[in-house]
Amino acid sequence: MKELIDYVDHAYLSWGGGKSELYGTDCAAIKELQRRAAAADLKLLPAKIRHLGTENCFQILAKMYHQLGKKKWRFAPTRKWRRLWRKMVL
């Protein structure tokens, strides 16, 4: 699972997600949360996560969309999605 998370994180970074903050890397905090979870008979599965934010996420997805369009990928968005896309991009 870690390899898949790292792969997706790398993809987002390559599309412009580098300004985003990465969470789940503080080993001391993770160990404390695992200890507290174990006390409640729970198991914490630590994983890092990058918070992209609404605006940055849209910009990243727009870059992906345009790049894939250049490679002749076909998209079949709904009419509602097309209207929203035109308002945001144009």
The DSSP-derived string for 44-82 is -----EEE--HHHHHHHHHHHHHHHHHTT------HHHH
- For 37-63, write each residue's pLDDT tens digit: 999 999 999 988 888 888 888 888 888
* Average pLDDT, integer, range 54-83: 78
Query: Which pLDDT value is given to residue 76?
Result: 67
Residue 90 pLDDT > 60: no
Kindly report the number of other CB atoms within 10 A of residue 90's CB atom. 5
Which phi and psi angles does 49 have, rounded to 5°? Answer: -145, 140
User: 78 or 21: which carries more pLDDT confidence?
Assistant: 21
For the chain, the domain total comes to: 1
Read off the pLDDT of each residue in 50-78 and give the average, rounded to a whole number.
Answer: 80
Give this prediction's pTM.
0.56
By residue range, what is the domain housing residue 26?
2-89
C-alpha distance from residue 54 to each of 2, 51, 57 (Å): 24, 9, 5
Per-residue model confidence (pLDDT) at position 89: 62
